[in-house]
Amino acid sequence: MELEARPESPSPTDESHTLRNLGDENIPGQTTKQLTEGQHRDVEGSLAVSGDNSIETRARRAYRWKIIGGLFFPYTIQALDTTIVAGALPFIASDFNELAQLDWIVLAFNLTSATFIPAWGQIADVYGRYASVQASIILMLLGSALCAGSPTSAFPMLLFGRAILGMGCAGMNISTRTILADKVSLKENARNTTIFQMVGGLGYGLGPTIGGYLTQVSWRWVFIINCPLGVIGLFTVHFLLRDELVGPKRIIRSDGIEDDRSPTFFRRLLTIDLGGQFLFLFGLGLLLLALSWGGSYYSWADVKVLAPLVIGLILLTCFLTYEYFMVPGRSLANKLPRQRAMIPFKILATRNASILLYINFITGMAMYATMYFAVLFFTLVLNFEPGQAGLGVIYYIPGLAIGVYMAMFILNVWPRETFVSLSIGTLIEPIGMTLLAHALSTEIPAYIYCMIGLTGIGTGIRLMPGSLHAVGYYRSHIATMMSSIMLASSMGGALGLSIMDNIFNSRVSKAGFDLDSSNFGNLGSIGSLDPATAETLKDTAKRGIIVAYYAITAFMWLGLVLMLGIGNLKIGKKAKKGSGKEDIPDRIWEGSYIIGKVTRRNRWREAETEAIDPHYAKSRFEGQEPSGAQIEP
């Protein structure tokens, strides 16, 4: 049997890389040649024997720079769009006279971002990485144009644009993470991921500041700025990465049989779990709507809250049931053999995956809470101008940078283990959030800025190790794990903002202030209040924001408890040429690392590598799960 491989995409990694591109079909315009599995291994074996490290190093470096050059601009848009609206949020809502609904400007983005993340993971597989990246950029451009052109009388149009923007950013994020994990060893993946995590961290941290200063001209520039960057990104991806990226995979049915029909566009589309997407989108959307309205605009017993709450929970229950029966061998999987489940139950039910997802869930909570509600505090309580309010959260950047550099040292130098970074970050983040809530009560800017930075350290030190831990444990399910991690982070941000906004609005409404009215619907109206009323509103807003911060810290302290059950990944090390020493392989710890250490049990085993055997290699790149494959509990 002959399998396809791309001649234009020589592996930039060491000899641990094998057969990554086998089983991929061509994207139109690309050329291929045929290599049998034996020939491919012979070629790689000869390269390994030659020991030409200089050629290997140059190939890795060239590949890395192509990835950086091709993805820098579109990934920067994605990172900026996650938080750039934070500095402009109160002012955008004020212009639309929708100050009470400002959270929906964020939730519209987060809802589609969370919902479509699993779909983008599947799109990257069935259509190829190049197609998914370009489609993501086009959606980001479309969403930005809709937001920038929205009349102040058309709030739904703004929300629709934000929803489209969320879809595009989700695709860009998951596509980038998947590309970084393609064709490289764990060590090279750590290095490449570090670079993009730093770019992303800068985008997340600078977003509110840039948004704040652009708002001083017009908040529409927050979205217009995406357009030139997106157009540049379309060209850089096309000319630098088109021949480098992994192409579409063959369509494999749930019973493991290859679909012998021509893989047309629509047949590939039908492999996506459309039923699961529908149930999840509307179920989560209605649940967030109920959480946003309940207790603040309407009582929890009001039908306007109960209806979306009950229907949302029913749809989410149907979603979980639907996904359960989409597991290979079950009824829905047999009836829809070409579709792949949105949620891979078999993987996500394992210990490491579930804990890792919760850690990313609270990371999303912390990031969005810091960016959005800190800006709201600066605007409503400290009366900062847009630029100054956005500048207030820029201290998140040095925190992120410190965290990322700590993670780099821990993963690349000593002790080269993911558990250390994950546990330190899971401890620092709730401490930072708890102290940030206290800092807000003092209204001391320097104290607030320091706690924002401390929270950033807790987030930054976990960004790269989380992805690396997932890749190490689930090497044959990279796209699935990357999309699941991003889904958890987006859901954490969406749910966290809904909870905080509900608490804030409840406090304000109970004090007699109706943010839906013309008297309080925009910042101009609030600024014209008499001093006594303005002071009362300021004090109420302050207490509401502080209580909201304390409420979500409970989720973060729970994450620290769950860390007791997570395993550990120890990154291997390649021996120096001529040293006579053997390479140290990547190793993973089976079960709980802490409990294993306390009981003095050594449960290290060598991590899964590429292409353990021909059947395993072929099944991996055709989307199957190999028989006898181990999934770490």
Query: Which tens digit of pLDDT belongs to each residue from 457-478?
Result: 999 899 889 888 998 898 877 7
| pLDDT for residue 28 | 36
Q: What b/e string do you get for 512-537 counting C-beta neighbours within 10 Å, with b at 16 or more?
A: ebebeeeebbbbeebeebeeeeeeeb
Does residue 360 carry a pLDDT above 60?
A: yes
Residue 103: band (very low, low, confident or very high) from pLDDT cuts 50, 70, 90: confident
Q: Are residues 33 and 110 in the same domain?
A: no
Among 565, 583, 612, the domain boundary falls at 565
pLDDT band at residue 14 using 50, 70 and 90 as cut-offs: very low
Q: Is residue 506 part of a domain?
A: yes
> What pLDDT score does 526 carry?
64
The answer on pLDDT for 315 being more than 50 is yes
- Residue 306 burial (C-beta neighbours within 10 Å; 0-12, 13-18, 19+): middle
Backbone angles phi, psi at 529, to 5 degrees: -70, 155
Tell me which of 120-124, 200-204, 486-490 is least confident: 200-204
- Percent of the chain exceeding pLDDT 90 equals 33
Q: Are residues 161 and 78 in the same domain?
A: yes
Most confident among 50-59, 130-139, 340-349 (mean pLDDT): 130-139
Domain range spanning residue 601? 569-621
Query: Terminal CA-to-CA distance of the chain, rounded, Å?
Result: 35
Judged against a pLDDT cut of 80, whether residue 33 lies above it is answered with no
- pLDDT bracket for residue 409 (50, 70, 90): very high
Q: Are residues 434 and 487 in the same domain?
A: yes
The pLDDT value recorded for residue 419 is 96
Residue 377, phi then psi, degrees to nearest 5? -65, -45
Distance CA 535, CA 519 (A): 15
Over residues 87-112, mean pLDDT: 83
- Mean pLDDT over 131-144 rounds to 95
Residue pLDDT, tens place only, 475-534: 877 767 877 887 898 889 888 988 998 899 888 888 877 666 545 555 556 666 788 888
Q: How many CB atoms lie within 10 A of CB 40?
A: 18
Query: Residue 145 is encoded by which pair of tokens?
Result: 């144009």
In a domain, 550, yes or no: yes
Residue 455: pLDDT over 70: yes
For position 612, what pLDDT does the model report? 33
- Helices 614-621 & 37-50 angle (0-180, nearest 10): 110
**What's residue 4's pLDDT?**
37
Residue 442 lies in a domain: yes
Contact, 372 vs 89, CB < 8 A? Answer: yes
How confident is residue 191, by pLDDT bands cut at 50, 70 and 90? confident
User: 415 preceded by cis ω (within 30°)?
Assistant: yes
The pair of three-digit structure tokens given for residue 509, joined into one six-digit string: 């409404």
**Residue 441 and residue 587 in one domain:** no
Asked which of 115-124, 306-315, 551-560 is least confident by mean pLDDT, the reply is: 115-124
Please tell me the distance from the alpha carbon of residue 200 to that of residue 446, in angstroms, as a whole number: 25
More confident residue, 229 or 24: 229
* pLDDT exceeds 70 at position 454: yes
**What residues contact 609, with CB distance under 8 A and at least 6 apart?**
16, 475, 585, 586
Q: What SS3 class is residue 569? A: strand
Across all residues in the chain, what is the average pLDDT? 80
Q: What percent of the chain has pLDDT over 70?
A: 83
Per-residue model confidence (pLDDT) at position 102: 78
Q: Hey, how many other C-beta atoms are within 10 angstroms of the C-beta on 553?
A: 22
Assess whether 32 and 103 both reside in one domain.
Answer: no
Within a domain: residue 535? yes
Domain total in the chain: 3
CA nearest to 607, candidates 587, 628, 584, 623: 587
User: Is the per-residue pLDDT at 431 higher than 50?
Assistant: yes
- Sorted by sequence, the CB contacts under 8 Å of residue 79 that are 6+ apart come out as 199, 200, 201, 202, 203, 204, 207
pLDDT for 120 beyond 80: yes
Size (the chain), residues: 633
Q: Is residue 396 part of a domain?
A: yes
Query: 461 vs 44, which has greater pLDDT?
Result: 461
Whether 399 and 545 map to the same domain: the answer is yes
pLDDT for res 167: 93
Q: Would you say residue 310 lies in a domain? A: no
Res. 38 pLDDT band, cuts 50 70 90 = very low
State the pairing for strand pair 569-570/587-589. antiparallel
What is the per-residue pLDDT for 570? 93
Q: Which residue has the higher pLDDT, 316 or 20?
A: 316
pLDDT band at 202 (very low <50, low <70, confident <90, very high): confident
Residue of 178 and 41 predicted with greater confidence: 178
Half-sphere exposure of 398 (CA within 13 A, CB side): 10
The answer to whether position 337 is within a domain reads yes
Is 451 found in the same domain as 345?
Answer: yes
The pLDDT of residue 422 is 96
Whether pLDDT at 625 is above 60: no
CA dist 57 and 236 (Å) reads: 23
Mean pLDDT check: name the lowest of 162-166, 297-301, 573-577: 573-577
Residues 513 and 594 in one domain: no
Tokens representing 626 are 């190999």
Q: How confident is the model at residue 50 (pLDDT cuts 50, 70, 90)?
A: very low
Determine which of 52-61, 130-139, 424-433, 484-493 has the lowest per-residue pLDDT on average.
52-61
Same-domain pairing of 143 and 237: yes
Range with the largest mean pLDDT of 260-269, 339-348, 580-589, 602-611 = 580-589
Q: Is the pLDDT of residue 70 over 50?
A: yes
> Is 296 contained in some domain?
no
Among candidates 458, 465, 408, which has minimal Cα distance to 473?
Answer: 465
Same domain, 24 and 142: no
Res. 31: pLDDT tops 70: no
Rounded-to-integer distance, Cα 319 and Cα 325, Å: 10
* pLDDT band at residue 609 using 50, 70 and 90 as cut-offs: low
Is 423's pLDDT higher than 50?
yes
The pLDDT assigned to 52 comes to 52
Q: How far apart are CA 630 and CA 633, in angstroms?
A: 9
> pTM for the complete prediction?
0.76
pLDDT at 36: 36
Q: Is 350 left (phi over 0), alpha (psi -120 to 50) or beta?
A: beta
Q: Is the model's pLDDT at 604 over the cut of 90?
A: yes
Select the more confidently predicted residue: 483 or 551: 551
User: Distance between CA 206 and CA 315 in Å, rounded?
Assistant: 37
Q: Per mean pLDDT, which range of 62-66, 297-301, 327-331, 611-615 is the poorest? A: 611-615
Question: Is the domain of 245 the same as that of 189?
Answer: yes
The answer to whether 597 touches 604, Cβ cutoff 8 Å, is: no
The 3-state DSSP class for residue 8 equals coil
145 & 9 share domain: no
**Better-predicted residue by pLDDT, 582 or 163:** 163
From 362, 395, 383, select the one nearest 499 (Cα to Cα).
362
Among 368, 501, 548, which Cα is nearest to 98's?
501
Spatial separation of the C-alpha atoms in residues 466 and 569, rounded to whole Å = 10
